[in-house]
């Protein structure tokens, strides 16, 4: 049995760095929580599009320097926003700043407004997922080889370097988000240390598991090597909903939970989650 872990996600939209830092430091000090997450967008994806939105990897580096224990990451990086060699350099640096606490969350990318507004191509879904596959291959090579030459369909490198390497060996875990059955879950089977099922009912999750198992068999991967993850949106006025969804997905095999918090964050939200949600499900499991 894999250990069950719990984390928080504070999307850096319609909020401030100071507010996020407070919640992250409280989670860092609370043993109920093992990880904390931001997202990777350049404008809010909920609420007023004109509202503030902090850049994910920059904020993550700052939070890495001001926390000590929890694992950190973006849930998830949009692969289309950065060349994978540039992303590998950013990720290695954040892993060093955090002393080996980074999980590299990554997905194919999807936000139409961001791509159109910044002139970034938003390829058709099949190409985006094939690019994600190549990016995962390339980053793992950059993290483990002195020189990397890569001749992919979409990305190329010639004697590329990435020094220093990440603290974690052979590389920080890859957390892949997405549920597309034909292509995305095949990339998960090939590369993911953690698969994140963003949202949806448990019966859909269970169906996706069957598909993922088929892809693992096809690519020669042990399905049990992949940690199963999901996100749980928190209603501050009804924590029982988060508790019930957590228990439902524990029963379905999930061992990695990410509680999505919206701003403004109540002063006692971390302690309440620890006591009323995490503590309750852990006690039941015992």
pLDDT at 1: 79
Over residues 165-185, the mean pLDDT reads 97
Q: What gap in Å lies between CA 266 and CA 26, rounded to an integer?
A: 12
Contacts within 8 Å (CB) and 24+ apart, 42-47: 42/81, 42/114, 42/118, 43/13, 43/113, 43/114, 43/117, 44/13, 44/14, 45/11, 45/13, 45/111, 46/11, 46/13, 46/14, 47/13, 47/14
What pLDDT band is residue 199 in, cutting at 50, 70 and 90?
A: confident
Tens digit of pLDDT for each residue in 206-263?
A: 999 999 999 999 999 999 999 999 999 999 999 999 999 999 999 999 999 999 999 9
**pLDDT per residue as tens digits for the range 54-100:** 999 999 999 999 999 999 999 999 999 999 999 999 999 999 999 99
**Which pTM value belongs to this model?**
0.97
**pLDDT tens-digit series, residues 231-241:** 999 999 999 99
Short-list 143, 247, 227, 251, CA closest to 177: 227
What is the structure's pLDDT at 180? Answer: 94
Given this model, what pLDDT does residue 285 score?
A: 79
Cβ proximity of 258 and 230 under 8 Å: yes
Q: How far is CA 228 from CA 60, 186, 198, 223, in A?
A: 23, 15, 11, 10
Smallest Cα–Cα separation from 277: which of 253, 251, 257? 257
* pLDDT tens digits along 83-142: 999 999 999 999 999 999 999 999 999 999 999 999 999 999 999 999 999 999 999 999
Q: Is the pLDDT of residue 286 over 90?
A: no
Q: pLDDT tier at 173 (50, 70, 90 boundaries)?
A: very high
Comparing CA positions, the residue from 74, 69, 91 lying closest to residue 25 is: 69
Cα–Cα dist 286/275, whole Å:
15
What is the token pair recorded at 52?
Answer: 């503030």
Q: Mean of the pLDDT values across residues 162-170?
A: 98
With beta carbons less than 8 A apart as the criterion, state whether 108 and 121 touch.
no
State yes or no: pLDDT of 284 exceeds 90.
Answer: no
């Amino acid at each position: 049995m894999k250990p069950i872990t719990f984390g928080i996600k504070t999307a850096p939209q319609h909020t401030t760095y100071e507010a996020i830092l407070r919640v992250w430091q409280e989670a860092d000090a609370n043993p109920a929580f093992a990880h904390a997450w931001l997202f990777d967008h350049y404008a809010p994806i909920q609420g007023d599009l004109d509202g503030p939105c902090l850049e994910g990897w920059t904020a993550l580096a700052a939070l890495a320097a001001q926390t000590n224990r929890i694992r950190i990451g973006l849930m998830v990086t949009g692969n289309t926003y950065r060349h994978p060699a540039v992303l590998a350099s950013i990720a290695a640096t954040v892993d060093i700043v955090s002393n080996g606490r980074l999980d590299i969350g990554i997905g194919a990318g999807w936000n139409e407004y961001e791509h159109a507004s910044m002139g970034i191509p938003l390829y058709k879904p099949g190409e985006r997922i094939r690019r994600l596959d190549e990016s995962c291959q390339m980053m793992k090579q950059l993290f483990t080889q002195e020189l990397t030459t890569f001749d992919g369909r979409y990305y190329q490198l010639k004697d590329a370097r990435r020094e220093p390497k990440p603290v974690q060996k052979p590389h920080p875990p890859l957390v892949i988000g997405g549920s597309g059955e034909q292509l995305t879950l095949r990339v998960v089977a090939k590369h993911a240390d953690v698969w994140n099922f963003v949202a949806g009912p448990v019966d859909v999750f269970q169906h996706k598991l069957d598909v993922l198992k088929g892809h693992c068999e096809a690519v020669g991967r042990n399905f049990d090597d992949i940690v199963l993850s999901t996100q749980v949106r928190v209603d501050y006025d009804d924590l029982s909903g988060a508790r019930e969804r957590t228990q439902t997905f524990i029963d379905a095999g999930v061992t990695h939970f990410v509680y999505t918090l919206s701003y403004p964050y109540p002063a006692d939200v971390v302690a309440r989650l620890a006591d009323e949600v995490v503590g309750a499900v852990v006690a039941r499991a015992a």
